[in-house]
Amino acid sequence: MAQLVPPPTISLHSTPPRPVAVIDIGATSIRMAIAEIHADGEVRTLDTLVQPVNLGREAFDVRRLSRASIEKAAGILKKYQRVLKEYGITGPQDLRVVATTAVREALNRLAFTDRVFIVTGLNVEPIDEAEVNRITYMGITPHLRSHPELADARSVVVEVGGGNTELLVIRSGNVLHSQSYRLGSLRLLQLLDDANVSASRRRILLESHIRRTLDLILEEVHSDAMIHLVAFGGDMRFAAHQLLDDWDGTSLAQLSTDRLIEFTNEVLKLDDDAIVKRFGASFIEAETLGPALLAYSMLAQAFNQSLVYVCDTNLRDGLLHDMAIGGEWTAEFRNQIVRSALTLGRRFDFDETHARNVAELARKLFEQLGAEHQLDQRHEVILHVAALLHEIGMMINVRSNHKHALYVIRHSGLFGLSKSELLQVGLVARYYRRAYPQPSHEGYGSLEREDRVVVAKLAAILRIAIALDDTRSGRIREIECVREARQLVIHVPGVDDVSLEQVAMRQNAGLFRDVFGMLVLLRAGK
């Protein structure tokens, strides 16, 4: 006799999915993805919209966005708002609007963002290459780990966009190299327009320009070791869908380089109207398809790849995932930044043992002084990296090494840190000794008040950490911070004599006293 199974119990208190959206203002289009985030962190896309714009053409040509293009973009975003309202997405915490290369490079980008705010009330966030690389890393890593051939292999992950080519080298989940190159499909089209060459010479000109960037890539990414090429971006996804009948559009596709080259050759012989008619492409896709695929094809040939892996992930997917985790930096991502900092330090022959000791002490101080500094997890990463690199300028000039540290860090392109974050890291390292922050100092005077306060707080903590490792012996590893009235007392368990560190502390604790309003005392044992 069949046994009756009761229906599943439905909890009336289960958390409903949270509707969210991201809008990506790109070089050729404004795209919106609407999704819902479930209680377990799963992201399910509900709808996508795309509208063409010519922002890239203008920005890459004259570095300004026309009034007509600004008004068109604002109008598109106004229409998107009506769709968002239908999905119940009205709060700024459930929507992120970003702009990439075209808006970022426009000299009148503030006029663009201000006009959009006036028309829609939306805050447009121009994101730099570091943020794009971070989102790319978060989006691509799960695909690499789930693939048996790529999980522990060395993969070159590349996207040829409208303005730039973004490239990451990843092995076993670790970023070995990240770089942005000024090679994009719209820049290539602009090159053709400016050159005004005959149809027969257009491809020769494109190949010559692409090859110059490939030479730079090959200098920085050694091709002698075994690698795999992983491509993402709309143009490669379009090619994969055309050439692979069985691709599900979500897993990593494997596309033969020979077939990619054949398809590229076919596309380059056609004008935009013919591409739309033959392949069912949109006019947005048709415009950039040929130059982008030529760049991918030449890159595959340069790395001697017989096939290219194609990934369906995009910037909007990464942004949605970022919203699902609350914009927090994961422990893994934090470790990637630290590894990048260590690699930079080794290039400048830094005292790694001392740097690691100071960074660990700074971390413990940051953790125990949370009630005092009121800073978040990202600031701890900034402090940690500054602690690792505070003496990086020693190789250049001992006397002014702190100033050289600021310069090197600002221009280092450390993976995962934006330009503003690199400036903060550099300034914290710059103030690791002697001088107090001054408005006249390079970089510091340009900061907003909130960021100036952050730099001062972190530099004050860094000086305390350096004093604790003044002997460079690493003998102080554990600390216990206790606030007594208007004093911070740092106990050092297991160490009987801290007289040398006490001398260093008296020299280093002035900034901490001025920033936090507390004297610092160091006591042995407890």
Phi-psi map region of 233: left, alpha, beta (phi>0 left; psi -120 to 50 alpha)? left
Domain assignment present for 501: no
- What's 469's domain CATH number? 1.10.3210.10
Residue 334 CA to residue 336 CA, distance in Å, equals 5
Provide the pLDDT for residue 344: 93
C-alpha span between 32 and 83 (Å, rounded): 10
For the chain, how are helix, strand and coil distributed in percent, rounded to 5? Answer: 50, 15, 30
- The whole-angstrom separation of Cα 104 and Cα 525 is 54
Query: What is the domain count for the chain?
Result: 3
**185 shares a domain with 70:** no
Q: Please tell me whether residues 444 and 412 are part of one structural domain.
A: yes
Final residue before a domain boundary, out of 127, 145, 180: 127
3-state secondary structure of 170: strand
The answer on 191 and 112 residing in a single domain is no
Tell me, yes or no, whether 451 lies in a domain. yes
318 and 199 within one domain: yes
Strand, helix or coil for residue 228: strand
* pTM for this model (two decimals): 0.83
CA pair distance 144, 376, nearest whole angstrom: 30
What residues contact residue 393 under an 8 Å CB cut-off, 6+ apart?
Answer: 348, 400, 401, 402, 403, 404, 405, 406, 407, 408
Q: What is the pLDDT of residue 9?
A: 52
pLDDT value at residue 13: 53
Nearest to 358 by CA among 490, 461, 278, 506: 461
Q: What are phi and psi of 359, to 5 degrees?
A: -65, -40
Residue keyed to tokens 């309003």: 517
Are 215 and 108 within one domain?
A: no
Q: Are residues 95 and 118 in the same domain?
A: yes
Question: Is position 510 within any domain?
Answer: no
Determine how many CB atoms are found less than 10 A away from the CB of residue 203: 18
Single residue among 276, 291, 323 that ends a domain in this structure: 323
Q: pLDDT 10s digit of each residue in the chain, 526 long? A: 444 555 555 444 568 899 999 999 999 999 999 999 998 888 999 999 999 998 999 999 999 999 999 999 999 999 999 999 999 998 889 999 999 999 999 999 999 999 999 999 999 999 988 888 888 888 888 889 889 899 899 999 999 999 999 999 998 888 888 889 999 999 999 988 888 877 778 899 999 999 999 999 998 887 667 899 999 889 999 999 999 988 888 889 999 999 999 999 999 999 999 999 999 998 888 999 999 999 999 999 999 999 999 998 888 988 998 888 887 787 888 888 999 999 999 999 999 999 999 999 999 999 999 999 999 999 999 999 999 999 999 999 988 999 999 999 999 888 889 889 999 999 999 999 888 999 889 899 899 999 999 999 999 999 999 999 999 999 999 999 999 988 999 999 989 899 999 999 999 999 999 999 999 999 997 6
**Are residues 242 and 350 both part of a single domain?**
no
Same domain as 195, residue 110: no
CATH number where 46 lies: 3.30.420.40
> 218 φ, ψ to 5°?
-70, -30
**Cα–Cα distance between 129 and 417 in angstroms, integer?**
9
Retrieve residue 241's tokens.
């869908």
The answer to whether residue 345 is domain-embedded is: yes
Order of strands, edge to edge, in the sheet holding 95-99? 43-52, 29-37, 18-25, 95-99, 124-126
Give, for 237, the enclosing helix (H) or strand (E): helix 234-243
Dihedral class, residue 173 (left if φ above 0, else alpha if ψ from -120 to 50, else beta): left
User: How far, in Å, CA of 114 to CA of 108, rounded?
Assistant: 10
Nearest to 160, CA basis, from 52, 234, 251: 234
- pLDDT given at position 101: 93
Domain end among 127, 154, 171: 127
Which residues span the domain enclosing 361? 331-477
Q: Are strands 29-37 and 18-25 parallel, antiparallel or unpaired?
A: antiparallel
- For 210-237, how does the pLDDT look when each residue is reduced to its tens digit (9 = 90+)? 999 999 999 888 766 789 999 988 999 9
* Distance of alpha carbon 419 from alpha carbon 450, whole angstroms: 16
Using an 8 Å Cβ cutoff, are 153 and 226 in contact?
Answer: yes
**Torsion angle, CA of 464/466/470/472, rounded to 10 degrees?**
150
